[in-house]
Amino acid sequence: MALVTTDAIVLKSMRWGEADRIVTFFTLRLGKIRGIARGARRMKSRFGGTLELFSSVNLTLFDKRHDSLASVSQVDISEPFAFLRGNIERIAAASCMVALVDGVTADRDPSPSIFHGLLDGLRSLGQTDDPELLTVVFQIQALGQAGFRPQLDHCAGCGRNVGLTAPKFSPWAGGLICRSCEQKSRDDCLPISPGGIAFLKQARRMSFTMARRLKATGQVRSELEDVIDTYARTVVGKRLPAKNFLAAEPVSSEYGMVSQRAASEMK
Ligand SMILES: [Zn+2]
């Protein structure tokens, strides 16, 4: 058994037994790991409010390598991200970010770039007036860091140049595909305009600090949101919480919040 201390972000937290919590952390040193926090739901728990969703913490745990569940020993808050909690749009964006990281990472597979990317993403939610577009940029970059960089330079199906004739985006192929591959594809492909492709290329290439300043409006924006959401969901293989759930009553889920529309789609 080893005692490990590492920076970590709370991805998920669920009640366990009478007084415990099982918490999924994305940690800098160990990657994604689940830990049991004994007594975390008692009134005078030593964990206090440190295990809130999205919190950035300094975590100490006993890690038994042959056991998938570590034992949480101590948690100190580094950044509580309290600004997320009173704002439904920011909560939705943060839920989308942590769920994507949870979905694209394997247990015990550390990725400092994904860790710091998530930290940057959550921090930036406190400085933006457009959490939805920031989330699109985050998704593009996190997918790339996890090995699912959208293929935009040539056809993701046959490898040939996509040419000038309105390519579409194939979530299953992971990028733009040419007309001929699209006609052979049994899966739905999504329209994307030259403006949308240019945005994707810039967001893929730039640092997060630069990319989060990109703007998209109207048709280009709705295409981008559609393409990236569908691609992220395809990669993860299950429904992620919807980013835009302003029109819906929030309900609880393991990711914190999810729209009724998304919840009904999950049934
Ligand atoms: Zn092709």
- Domain layout of the chain by residue ranges: 1-80, 87-267
> Ligand 1 centre from 186 Cα, in Å?
14
CATH 2.60.120.650 for domain 1-80, yes or no, is: no
> Ligand 1 centre from 154 Cα, in Å?
8
The predicted structure's pLDDT at residue 214: 94
> Ligand 1 centre from 183 Cα, in Å?
9
In the block, tokens 């981008």 appear at 224
Q: Flag whether pLDDT at 75 surpasses 90.
A: yes
Residues 6+ apart with CB under 8 A from 19: 38, 39, 40, 41, 42
> Ligand 1 centre from 145 Cα, in Å?
25
> Ligand 1 centre from 192 Cα, in Å?
16
> Ligand 1 centre from 155 Cα, in Å?
5
pLDDT band at 247 (very low <50, low <70, confident <90, very high): very low
- Judge contact between 78 and 116, C-beta under 8 A: no
Tokens of 239: 């429904």
On average, the pLDDT of the chain sits at 87
- CATH homologous superfamily of 87-267 equals Recombination protein O, C-terminal domain (1.20.1440.120)
Tell me the pLDDT tens digit for each residue of 7-30.
Answer: 999 999 999 999 999 999 999 999
> Ligand 1 centre from 191 Cα, in Å?
15
More confident residue, 97 or 187: 97
Tell me the pLDDT tens digit for each residue of 161-206.
Answer: 876 567 899 999 999 998 889 989 888 899 999 999 999 999 999 9
In percent, the amount of the chain with pLDDT more than 90 equals 70
The predicted structure's pLDDT at residue 66: 75
The predicted structure's pLDDT at residue 83: 86
Q: Long-range pairs for 192-200 at CB < 8 Å and ≥24 separation? A: 192/167, 192/168, 192/223, 192/224, 192/227, 193/219, 193/220, 193/223, 195/219, 195/220, 196/220, 196/223, 196/224, 196/227, 197/152, 197/167, 199/224, 200/140, 200/150, 200/152, 200/224, 200/227
